[in-house]
Structure 1
Amino acid sequence: MDIFRLIRTGGGERVEFKESLSDVKGIMETICAFLNSRGGYIIVGVDDSGHVKGIDIGRGTIPRLAGMIRDAIEPQVIPR
């Protein structure tokens, strides 16, 4: 799926925008909601209006987020 097309289409039932990674609880809730429905996409660095804000991430950000997801959700989900 083309990320720019998802952003242009806007958030909805299967697309969720998160402006940053700071709302870990909200991200986990969205992941659980997607797991219990038809799936979806979480796009980080985009505000609720669909404006791309971008985020700065360090080398360990993605592995750390993946670890938090693994630790918080049962059965295990593998983020892509």
Structure 2
Amino acid sequence: MALLKAQSTETLEFCAREAMQIFGGLAYTKGGQGEKVERLYRDAKAYSIPGGSFEIMQDLGIRQSVKVAQIMGAKL
């Protein structure tokens, strides 16, 4: 679950950055055409904070995967 959250927030941030590149200067305005892009970019960062940083989520995901693999009898 942690790896899914890390990947999804990273993808959302990438999409928001690309949308800002496409819109150019309009993406930085809080009104007009760029309002939704500006809000998406701002919110994308906020979504990644509650669960921890990207690196922490990756570490947690790997630890969970190793634990499941050991329970299933995998040799690591």
Higher relative contact order (CA 8 A, sep 6+): 2
Confirm or deny a common fold (TM above 0.5).
no
Structure in which a larger fraction of residues adopt strand: 1
TM-score (norm 2): 0.26
* Higher gyration radius (CA): 2
